[in-house]
Amino acid sequence: MFYLDTSVVLALFVHEPMSESVGNWVASRRQPLAFSDWGLTECASALGILQRRGSLAADSTTRTYMAITTFVNTSCEFIACASHHQIEAQKLLSRFDLPIRAGDALHLAVSLHAQTSLVSCDKQLVAVAKAIGAKFRNPLSPPASRD
């Protein structure tokens, strides 16, 4: 199973340079997908930022969030974050040698507990996953990524 982080899901619904490549990767994958409630929270936050910056109109922001929610509900196994995910994220964050942010630590913790391959376009998050021996995939890289 592939656990998608927010960078991947946003690229599917908000046009950016990597959107086509990410869309092609998602369309060609053979394993099921997973996403979390934390990912939906991050998507809402990112869309709000885009709207406030003037990159998305209010009606477009709402439609995009609804499309993301529909995609998650119909195409992904939904994982609710729980206290054990928070504890794992805290363990990752307390490894002060790892360059990881709190939100990314939570994505990685969810992926680890679900025993999935983390899918991210965030090079720093992929580097941390590699450093701790987690399964990962960057859809912008050749299939040699560990999974």
Give residues with Cβ within 8 angstroms of 25, minimum separation 6: 139, 140
Q: For the chain, what are the domain ranges? A: 2-137
Return the pLDDT at 141: 87
Model confidence over 73-86: pLDDT tens digits? 999 999 999 999 99
Q: How confident is the model at residue 145 (pLDDT cuts 50, 70, 90)?
A: very low
> What tokens were used for 94?
């307390």
Percentage of residues in the chain having pLDDT higher than 90? 95
CA-only gyration radius of the chain, Å: 15
Its pTM stands at: 0.93
**Helices 37-52 + 6-13 axis angle, to 10:** 50
User: Which CATH number is associated with domain 2-137?
Assistant: 3.40.50.1010
The mean pLDDT of the chain is 95
> What tokens were used for 92?
């990752």
For the segment 48-61, the average pLDDT, to the nearest whole number, is 96
Per the CB < 8 A criterion, the answer to whether 22 and 8 are in contact is yes
Give residues with Cβ within 8 angstroms of 28, minimum separation 6: none
Return the pLDDT at 127: 96
